[in-house]
Amino acid sequence: MKNSILCIYLLLFSFAAFSQKDPFIIYKGNGKKVSYRKMLKSLEKSDIILFGELHNNPIAHWLQFELTVDLHEKKPLILGAEMLEADNQQVLNLYLKDSISYKGLDTLARLWPNYKTDYAPLVDFAKKEKLDFIATNVPRRYANLVYKKGFEALDSLPGEEKQWIAPLPIAFDSELPTYKNILSMMGDHGSPTLVMAQAIKDATMAHFIMENYKKDHLFIHYNGAYHSDFYEGILWYLKRERENLNYRIISTVSQTDVSELQEENYNKADFIICVDSDMTTTY
């Protein structure tokens, strides 16, 4: 009788353990599931990681922090993010050196509305561990200028302002599938200059990543997934500068059922964080 009860208990325990609903599953680009630890082991070998997030996804933000902490134990790190613009680097440096408070940073820099919950933990980790944190994105006003007038509008900027964008002229391939898809998604609202505005962001982020990369370090860059999905965007510009570095791409996707990666999400990245679409968002 005791053995029968034990068998039933073990059966119920096994069923509960394997029938739980996963909030997320990590996949390789080919659709095979992979553990966090195996992903971490692979990423240790990287020179540059582009961590593509969904900006309001708490799982992506949590894993960004956990991965950063774990990789810090393996290699010297440099951190950088789309969410901070290049002309705010000096202010960011003051904060990292504890010369100004969070209130000062919030006053002087153009922080995203979700900075405090989603990105401050990463910046504060860099501050605590005395790591460089690079503001990589082009100032928004220049992306808007490109959207209105094209790349040519950047030529007339004062020299001081050009230091906050990728060197001119900007290389550009309008035939990249992700750029073509922007026009397709926007329909009648799409325009060649809209894609150029995306490209100036990608080019500038790549420029500041490469400018601050150091040999024998690992640079982790946090950006919207679309800026690096399918190994395009930022990576296209990085490889124009240094093709021989070891790059790894992470993407984040949302599905109603995470038990199997949907075909449309295959090959978006080396590792794909598939999050249940019912997951709460940060805004």
Domains of the chain by range and CATH?
Answer: 21-276 (3.40.50.11550)
pLDDT of residue 43 exceeding 60, the answer is: yes
C-alpha 116/C-alpha 264 separation (Å) is 33
Please write the tens of the pLDDT for every residue from 244-276: 999 999 999 999 999 999 999 999 999 999 999
User: pLDDT grade, residue 19 (50/70/90)?
Assistant: low
Q: What is the pLDDT of residues 177-187, one digit of tens each?
A: 999 999 888 76
Q: What is the CA radius of gyration of the chain?
A: 21
How far is Cα 164 from Cα 86, in angstroms, rounded to an integer? 5
Give yes or no for a contact between 41 and 26, defined as CB atoms under 8 angstroms apart: no
Element spanning 52, H or E: strand 48-53
Of 76, 92, 72, the closest CA to residue 84 belongs to 92
pLDDT-based confidence at residue 188 (cuts at 50, 70, 90): low
Using pLDDT thresholds of 50, 70 and 90, give the confidence band for residue 9: very low
65-91: per-residue pLDDT in tens?
999 999 999 999 999 999 999 999 999
175/179 Cα distance (integer angstroms): 7
Coil, helix or strand at residue 83: strand
Average pLDDT score over residue span 6-33: 69
Using alpha carbons, list the distances in angstroms from residue 80 to 61, 64, 74, 182, 274. Answer: 14, 12, 18, 25, 23
Mean predicted confidence (pLDDT) in 35-57: 98
Secondary structure class of 200 (helix, strand, coil): helix
Q: Residue 273 and residue 235: Cα distance in Å, rounded?
A: 19
Alpha-carbon span 152 to 193, nearest angstrom: 11
19: enclosing H helix or E strand: helix 2-19
Q: Which residue has the higher pLDDT, 186 or 191?
A: 191
CA-nearest of 122, 162, 45, 61 to 154 is: 162
| pLDDT over 50 at 1, yes or no | no
Whether the pLDDT of residue 119 is over 90: the answer is: yes
132 CB contacts (<8 Å, ≥6 apart)?
78, 79, 96, 126, 212
Contact 112, 88 (CB under 8 A): no
Quick check: 7 pLDDT over 50?
Answer: no
pLDDT confidence tier of residue 238, bands split at 50, 70 and 90:
very high
